[in-house]
RNA sequence: GCCGAAGUGGCGGAAUGGUAGACGCGGCAGACUCAAAAUCUGUUGAGGGCAACCUCGUGGGGGUUCAAGUCCCCCCUUCGGUACCA
């Protein structure tokens, strides 16, 4: 009757916390705040897998620890519930996405609640709630009114399989990053957000953030700032000109031809009649080439001559103008000056088409490869630049170009504007109306939110318009003042919209008048710790930072950046099994045969591998089962004990069993067979040895929590237990303090034992124990004696013994003596409290 | 190709330049049991030795140092990111 029963204990305390409102967060200016946030999940129909609780447990431990340190903690959870999966489910089954969403949120809430996470559930919301959509639309209108939202007719990423366009960030190697579906270019009128206007600040402000360097680097590279120059070339014999962007204006004298991207508007106009057919064919071929194909870098360079020439502004020389698809239409000005001597791509192209290669920077051998050094190379054959090093030559030529009005220094970015519209149903409608003459106007703020029309068919229309176009009544609006007939925008916002500001709504989630109150924002923001997966390194984090900066410029938020500290948890991997035909098998279908795995039914050999958990690989571990079998505390503990939070780690059922075992041993330390406190817990002052153990444990756990090294912190708690069970007596003071140390990690068990020790209230706000260095010291000390770097003896000495005395003991030690015999002493020093180093020669 | 991160027992992983392998899993031995499971105790890097001990050992090769898993140089492998961005 006294054994550890996690299920019972956990239900009891979860109910207690909810009833008591233990984790409700209320603004309190007298206390410092701490805002700890998880990247909120998309509630899919599959429910949670054990990867989700990893980050959630980490933030929960920090939240609980910070509360015990006196911080007023904001720790909310909600749902990023718009999105494709729910919509596709609706297309398949006809069930309305709102219903699916509600069901999925309920499942997620139940699963997450079972983990005993200390969220303030009163702040929960879904991005699909009309009240939230209202303010998402409101923020969009602020961007629109600032001129940051506009429509564009440019070629966009169209994904036929998804039936929608995608943002640049969602496409990689010509495929949709989520599904791998191929993407093609299509010209469509789309809503864009002018994120490029913030490119400079999005790079610069990264410096102040406590983020992993890798993520900062990825963002910097995505934004892709590069300094260079724009140079204007005129077309020989025609009143036409075009601009090229180059980062190496110093090599202008080395340009031997120019290249226009196939999409460049000038291509058609400058091509000579003789070249018309060839160029036309090339351009058409380039247009029909899929993005997947074009992304292949190993392809041989291709191109055609237009028959026209450009005039190099520095020396008046005529350069042939080519069209080639290695020049991208979307970057810079879609045209380049080619300097094959000093650019590897141009070099390859020149080789392929027998174009001249000129040397203008000495130091390399341009017959072998382009010489691209831009620090030490010295300019040659370059008129006024001769003899200069590259950086100085760049400055000189830019000044020269600017004086003559045929060029200027510029900064260019890879980042493009954010394609913000989707041809989907399950997203936020744009709060925009269009009149018959095509002018666009914003929906009045008091008319927000623009709610989605109720549909029973979520597919695009037969003529290819978005699903919302099916709702003809909804689309048509009459202006109450003028009686004018207006049409609603039928695109919806991408899923990123909702996650761009949810962290702000969490500060004040029930505010009906404003998206958030200035008081709440001023108190809670910024997010002090943000934990989530690395997959959002560019997408979500870049978009959210962009919106935040717009809001900052409007005076609606007081910090330049939303997320002060970012931590990326690793992935939880799991073993999967595949038969020789590549078909995945469930764990239950295979068994071990010696070192190998075989199919139980057929004894066929099976390949096993450690992979990302996914439904298709049949290796998903369900947290509900783990909680049912071992308890939430064991699941939490194991997820943290597996290894460093930021690393990928393979799941092991034996591992969680070990953690459950630890918790049971803790239980048995406190509770006896008769369900009473064990007799070893006594009101007696701890001796020096016990105090030292306790204080060293407090110190280690505190320091490791601060560094989010949860795995080693847990190891310290285990060590304490291993010592404690060896003793006949556990002084009450130690028993009490140990529970406080355990509480952030295994809160249910800690609360239960705390309660059984006679405390009627929760330990959630008990002060975190502090340590005393004086108590940490131990009376004796192990000292290793190294001779020439190898440990030859270990002595136990009094901790207060002087270095010199320890050295003498070491030198005269019987195991050390033989290593010194016949050698001369070169060096001897107590290099650390526990190490004496002796060198002989 | 470029940019990151990583490579340590049978496994997950510990180690401010200072006793490599903490802690856990697994294994082995013992206790309890009619027996098993569970639990408890001990033990567990490899090789050698009766033993005290000795030798080797952190992907590979060099180097710095009294001392290197840790710092420096070169190389290999794995995993992420990125890719004709001028």
Question: Is the C-beta of residue A788 closer than 7 Å to nucleic acid chain B?
Answer: yes
Q: How far is the CA of A2 from the C1' of B39 (A)?
A: 14
Provide the ipTM. Answer: 0.95
Q: How far is the CA of A791 from the C1' of B27 (A)?
A: 29
Tell me what pLDDT residue A1 has: 42
Residue A428 and residue A409 share a domain: no
- Report the CATH number at residue A82: 3.40.50.620
Domain stop point among A413, A447, A476: A413
Tally of structural domains, chain A: 5
Reference A128, options A97, A103, A106, A153; nearest CA is: A97
Cis peptide before A701 (omega within 30 of 0): no
Whether A321 is covered by a domain: the verdict is: yes
Residues A745 and A705: beta-carbon distance below 8 Å: no
Whether A27 is covered by a domain: the verdict is: no
Q: How far is the CA of A221 from the C1' of B3 (A)?
A: 9
Residues A285 and A293: beta-carbon distance below 8 Å: no
Q: Which residues 189-218 on A are within 7 A of strand B at the CB atom?
A: 213-214, 217-218
Q: How far is the CA of A121 from the C1' of B72 (A)?
A: 53
Residue A819 and residue A764 share a domain: no
Residue A196 and residue A322 share a domain: no
Say which nucleotide is closest to residue A349, CA to C1' distance: B84
**What is the arrangement of strands in the sheet containing A72-74, beginning at the earlier edge strand?**
A72-74, A33-38, A529-532, A566-568
Q: How far is the CA of A836 from the C1' of B65 (A)?
A: 16
What phi, psi does A203 have (nearest 5°)?
-80, -50
Q: How far is the CA of A344 from the C1' of B1 (A)?
A: 12
Tell me what pLDDT residue A598 has: 78
Q: Which residues 109-168 on A are within 7 A of strand B at the CB atom?
A: none
Question: Is the C-beta of residue A795 closer than 7 Å to nucleic acid chain B?
Answer: no
Q: How far is the CA of A214 from the C1' of B60 (A)?
A: 27
What one-character-per-residue DSSP string does A694-738 give? Answer: HHHHHHHHHHHHHTT-HHHHHHHHHHHHHHHTTSS-EEHHHHHHH
Question: Is the C-beta of residue A653 closer than 7 Å to nucleic acid chain B?
Answer: no
- Distance CA(A10)–CA(A816), nearest Å, equals 56
Look up the protein residue whose alpha carbon has the minimum distance to the C1' of B84: A326
Question: Is the C-beta of residue A832 closer than 7 Å to nucleic acid chain B?
Answer: yes
Reference A737, options A710, A713, A708, A771; nearest CA is: A771
Say which nucleotide is closest to residue A301, CA to C1' distance: B84
Residue A532 and residue A387 share a domain: no
- Report the CATH number at residue A292: 3.90.740.10
Q: How far is the CA of A796 from the C1' of B19 (A)?
A: 13
Residue A762 and residue A635 share a domain: yes
- Distance CA(A731)–CA(A146), nearest Å, equals 66
Tell me what pLDDT residue A544 has: 96
Domain stop point among A750, A774, A798: A774
Residues A114 and A137: beta-carbon distance below 8 Å: no
Question: Is the C-beta of residue A648 closer than 7 Å to nucleic acid chain B?
Answer: yes
Question: Is the C-beta of residue A297 closer than 7 Å to nucleic acid chain B?
Answer: yes
pLDDT per residue as tens digits for the range A791-841? 888 888 888 888 889 999 888 888 888 888 778 888 888 988 889 998 887
- Report the CATH number at residue A672: 1.10.730.10
Residue A238 and residue A99 share a domain: no
Whether A25 is covered by a domain: the verdict is: no
Tell me what pLDDT residue A368 has: 86
Structure tokens at A278: 């060839």
Whether A392 is covered by a domain: the verdict is: yes
Q: How far is the CA of A77 from the C1' of B38 (A)?
A: 39
Residue A397 and residue A316 share a domain: yes
Residues A693 and A776: beta-carbon distance below 8 Å: no
What one-character-per-residue DSSP string does A339-363 give? Answer: -TTS-HHHHHHHHHTT------EES
Whether A351 is covered by a domain: the verdict is: yes
Whether A598 is covered by a domain: the verdict is: no
Residue A245 and residue A368 share a domain: yes
Question: Is the C-beta of residue A644 closer than 7 Å to nucleic acid chain B?
Answer: yes
What one-character-per-residue DSSP string does A419-486 give? Answer: E--BS-SSSPBP-EEEETTS-EEEPPGGG---PPPP-S--SPPTTS--GGGG-HHHHEEE-TTT--EE
Whether A214 is covered by a domain: the verdict is: no
Look up the protein residue whose alpha carbon has the minimum distance to the C1' of B86: A246
Q: How far is the CA of A131 from the C1' of B49 (A)?
A: 79
Q: How far is the CA of A379 from the C1' of B71 (A)?
A: 39
Question: Is the C-beta of residue A301 closer than 7 Å to nucleic acid chain B?
Answer: yes
Question: Is the C-beta of residue A782 closer than 7 Å to nucleic acid chain B?
Answer: yes
Question: Is the C-beta of residue A245 closer than 7 Å to nucleic acid chain B?
Answer: yes
Whether A609 is covered by a domain: the verdict is: no
Residue A784 and residue A768 share a domain: no
Tell me what pLDDT residue A2 has: 66
- Distance CA(A508)–CA(A515), nearest Å, equals 8
Question: Is the C-beta of residue A12 closer than 7 Å to nucleic acid chain B?
Answer: no
Say which nucleotide is closest to residue A645, CA to C1' distance: B13
Q: How far is the CA of A700 from the C1' of B71 (A)?
A: 27
Q: How far is the CA of A711 from the C1' of B28 (A)?
A: 27
Residue A389 and residue A348 share a domain: yes
Q: How far is the CA of A364 from the C1' of B73 (A)?
A: 25
Q: What is the mean pLDDT of each run of 10 residues along chain A (841 residues)?
A: 84 96 97 97 91 95 98 98 91 92 96 96 98 98 96 86 86 83 86 95 94 92 94 94 95 96 93 95 85 71 94 95 92 94 93 94 87 86 93 94 94 93 94 92 94 90 88 91 91 95 98 97 97 91 97 97 95 86 81 71 80 85 93 96 93 92 95 89 92 95 96 96 92 96 98 96 97 89 87 86 89 85 83 88 75
Q: Which residues 528-557 on A are within 7 A of strand B at the CB atom?
A: 534-535, 537-538
Question: Is the C-beta of residue A703 closer than 7 Å to nucleic acid chain B?
Answer: no
Range of the domain at A522: 34-140+496-568
Question: Is the C-beta of residue A239 closer than 7 Å to nucleic acid chain B?
Answer: no
Q: Which residues 332-361 on A are within 7 A of strand B at the CB atom?
A: 332, 334, 336, 343, 345, 348
β-strand A418-419 against A190-193: which pairing, if any? antiparallel
Question: Is the C-beta of residue A818 closer than 7 Å to nucleic acid chain B?
Answer: no
Residue A752 and residue A691 share a domain: yes
pLDDT per residue as tens digits for the range A105-153? 999 999 999 999 999 999 999 999 999 999 999 999 999 999 999 999 8
3-class state of residue A181 by DSSP: coil
Q: Which residues contact A203 (CB under 8 A, 6 or more apart)?
A: A219, A220, A223, A225
Residue A366 and residue A238 share a domain: yes
Domain stop point among A465, A488, A511: A488
Chain B: bases < 7 Å from a protein Cβ:
3-5, 11-16, 18-20, 22-26, 39-42, 53-55, 66-68, 79-86
Q: How far is the CA of A712 from the C1' of B57 (A)?
A: 25
pLDDT per residue as tens digits for the range A502-553? 999 999 999 999 999 999 999 999 999 999 998 888 999 999 999 999 999 9
């Amino acid at each position: 009757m006294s054994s550890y029963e996690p299920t019972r204990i956990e239900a009891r305390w979860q109910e207690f916390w909810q009833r008591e409102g233990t984790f409700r967060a209320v603004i309190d200016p007298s206390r410092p705040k701490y805002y700890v946030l998880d990247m909120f999940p998309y509630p899919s129909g599959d429910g949670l897998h054990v990867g989700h609780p990893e980050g959630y447990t980490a933030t929960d431990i920090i939240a609980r620890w910070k509360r015990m340190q006196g911080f007023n903690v904001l720790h909310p959870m909600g749902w990023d519930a718009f999105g494709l999966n729910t919509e596709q489910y609706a297309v398949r089954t006809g069930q309305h996405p709102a219903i699916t969403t509600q069901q999925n949120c309920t499942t997620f809430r139940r699963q997450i609640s079972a983990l005993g996470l200390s969220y303030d559930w009163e702040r929960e919301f879904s991005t699909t709630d009309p009240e939230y959509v209202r303010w998402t639309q409101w923020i969009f209108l602020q961007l629109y009114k600032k001129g940051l939202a506009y429509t564009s007719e440019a070629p966009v990423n169209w994904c036929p399989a998804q039936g929608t366009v995608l943002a640049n960030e969602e496409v990689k190697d010509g495929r949709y990053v989520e599904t791998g579906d191929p993407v093609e270019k299509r010209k469509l009128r789309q809503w864009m957000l002018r994120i490029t206007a913030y490119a400079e600040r999005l790079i610069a402000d990264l410096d102040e953030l406590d983020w992993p360097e890798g993520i900062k680097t990825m963002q910097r590279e995505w934004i892709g700032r590069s300094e260079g120059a724009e140079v204007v070339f005129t077309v020989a014999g025609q009143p036409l000109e075009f601009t090229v962007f180059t980062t190496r204006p110093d090599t202008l004298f080395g340009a031997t031809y120019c290249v226009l991207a196939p999409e460049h508007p000038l291509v058609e106009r400058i091509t000579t009649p003789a070249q018309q057919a060839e160029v036309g064919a090339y351009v058409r071929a380039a247009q029909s080439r899929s993005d997947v194909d074009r992304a292949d870098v190993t392809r041989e360079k291709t191109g055609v001559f237009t028959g026209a020439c450009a005039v190099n502004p520095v020396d008046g020389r005529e350069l042939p103008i080519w069209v080639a698809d290695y020049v991208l239409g979307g970057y810079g000005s879609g045209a380049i000056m080619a300097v094959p001597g000093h650019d590897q791509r141009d070099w390859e192209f020149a080789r392929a088409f027998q174009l001249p290669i000129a040397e203008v920077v000495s130091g390399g051998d341009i017959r072998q490869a382009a010489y691209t050094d831009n620090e030490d190379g010295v300019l040659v054959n370059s008129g006024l630049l001769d003899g200069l090093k590259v950086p100085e030559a760049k400055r000189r030529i830019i000044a020269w170009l600017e004086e003559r009005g045929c060029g200027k220094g510029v900064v260019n970015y890879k980042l493009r504007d954010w394609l913000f519209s989707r041809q989907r149903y399950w997203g936020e409608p744009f709060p925009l109306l269009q009149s018959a003459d095509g002018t666009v106007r914003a929906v009045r703020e008091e008319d927000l939110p623009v709610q989605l029309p109720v549909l029973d068919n979520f597919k695009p229309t037969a003529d290819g318009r978005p699903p919302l176009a099916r709702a003809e009544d909804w689309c048509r609006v009459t202006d109450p003042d003028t009686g004018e007939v207006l049409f609603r925008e039928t695109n919806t916002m991408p899923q990123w919209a909702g996650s761009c500001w949810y962290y702000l709504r969490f500060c004040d989630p029930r505010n009906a008048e404003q998206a958030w109150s200035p008081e709440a924002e001023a108190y809670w923001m910024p997010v002090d710790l943000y934990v989530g997966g690395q997959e959002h390194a560019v997408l979500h984090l870049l978009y959210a930072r962009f919106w935040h900066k717009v809001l900052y410029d409007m005076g609606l938020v007081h910090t330049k950046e939303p997320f002060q500290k970012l931590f990326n948890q690793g992935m939880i991997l799991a073993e999967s099994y595949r038969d020789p035909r590549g078909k995945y098998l469930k764990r239950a279908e295979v068994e071990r045969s010696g070192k190998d795995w075989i199919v139980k039914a057929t004894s066929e050999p099976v390949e096993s591998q450690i992979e990302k958990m996914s439904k298709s690989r049949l290796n998903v571990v369900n947290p509900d089962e783990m909680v049912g079998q071992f308890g939430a505390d064991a699941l939490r503990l194991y997820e943290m004990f597996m290894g460093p939070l930021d690393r990928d780690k393979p799941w092991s059922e034996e591992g969680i069993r070990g953690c459950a075992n630890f918790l049971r041993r803790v239980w048995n330390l406190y509770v006896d067979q008769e369900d009473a406190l064990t007799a070893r817990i006594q009101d007696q002052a701890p001796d020096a040895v016990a105090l030292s153990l306790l204080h060293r444990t407090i110190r280690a756990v505190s320091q490791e929590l601060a560094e989010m090294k949860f795995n080693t912190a847990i190891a310290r708690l285990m060590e304490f237990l291993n010592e404690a069970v060896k003793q006949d007596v556990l002084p009450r003071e130690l028993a009490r303090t140990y529970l406080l140390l355990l509480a952030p990690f295994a809160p249910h068990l800690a609360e239960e034992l705390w309660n059984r020790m006679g405390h009627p209230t929760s330990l959630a706000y008990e002060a975190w124990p502090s340590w005393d260095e004086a108590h940490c010291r131990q009376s004796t000390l192990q000292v290793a004696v190294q001779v020439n770097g190898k440990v030859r003896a270990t002595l136990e000495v009094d901790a207060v013994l002087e270095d010199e005395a320890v050295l003498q003991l070491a030198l005269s030690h019987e195991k050390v003596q033989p290593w010194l015999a016949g050698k001369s002493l070169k060096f001897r020093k107590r290099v650390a409290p526990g190490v004496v180093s002796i060198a002989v020669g």
